[in-house]
């Protein structure tokens, strides 16, 4: 999930289907210490870090049967976590909210998945 990570590679395809996911930041894998140092040194806003990098999260999968998926993941010596649940909201909100990960505005980071669409 490099280049476009949470914004373009996660929020955009979810939004294209009219869906939304709230990801609990505490459930995500921790970013590599070198990555934290790099973004800190560059003085970039935290939102940019989640746009450009997976922040320790190599990818996401969506499944109906979590237990079956976890068996496959473990069988291949990988790690997986349930970090959120995709839903179709009545208020038509789409994309991804990173709950507990505050952006430069002090609010949870949110990517609608529609940021690059013409109005």
pLDDT digits (tens, 9 = 90+) for 12-51: 999 999 999 999 988 988 888 888 888 888 888 888 888 8
Q: Examine residue 25 and state whether it is found in any structural domain, yes or no.
A: yes
Q: What is the pLDDT of residue 17?
A: 95
Count of structural domains within the chain: 1
Q: Examine residue 103 and state whether it is found in any structural domain, yes or no.
A: yes
Q: What is the pLDDT of residue 119?
A: 43
β partners of residue 110: 97
pLDDT classification of 55: cutoffs 50, 70, 90: confident
Residue numbers of the domain that contains 25: 5-111
Q: What is the pLDDT of residue 61?
A: 83
Question: Residue 10: which region, alpha, beta or left (left: phi > 0; alpha: psi -120 to 50)?
Answer: alpha
Residues 111, 11: Cα–Cα separation, whole Å: 6
Q: Examine residue 50 and state whether it is found in any structural domain, yes or no.
A: yes
Q: What is the pLDDT of residue 110?
A: 96
Q: Examine residue 117 and state whether it is found in any structural domain, yes or no.
A: no
Please return the burial class of 46, using the count of CB atoms within 10 Å of its CB with bins 0-12, 13-18 and 19+: middle
Residue 115 has pLDDT above 70, yes or no: yes
Q: Examine residue 60 and state whether it is found in any structural domain, yes or no.
A: yes
Residue 70 has pLDDT above 90, yes or no: yes
Q: Examine residue 17 and state whether it is found in any structural domain, yes or no.
A: yes
pLDDT classification of 117: cutoffs 50, 70, 90: low
The answer to whether the predicted template modeling score (pTM) of the entire model surpasses 0.85 is no
Alpha carbon distances (Å) from 41 to 36, 47, 49, 105: 9, 15, 12, 20
Residue 1 has pLDDT above 70, yes or no: no
């Amino acid at each position: 999930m490099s280049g476009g990570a949470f914004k373009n590679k996660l929020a955009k395809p979810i939004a294209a289907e009219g869906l939304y996911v709230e990801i609990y930041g505490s459930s995500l894998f921790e970013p590599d210490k070198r990555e934290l140092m790099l973004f800190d040194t560059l003085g970039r806003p935290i939102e940019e870090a989640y746009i450009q990098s997976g922040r320790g999260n190599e990818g996401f999968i969506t499944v109906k049967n979590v237990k079956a998926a976890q068996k496959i993941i473990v069988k291949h010596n990988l790690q997986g976590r349930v970090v959120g649940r995709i839903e179709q909201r009545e208020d038509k909100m789409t994309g991804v909210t990173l709950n507990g990960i505050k952006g430069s505005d002090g609010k949870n980071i949110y990517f609608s998945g529609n940021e690059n669409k013409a109005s």
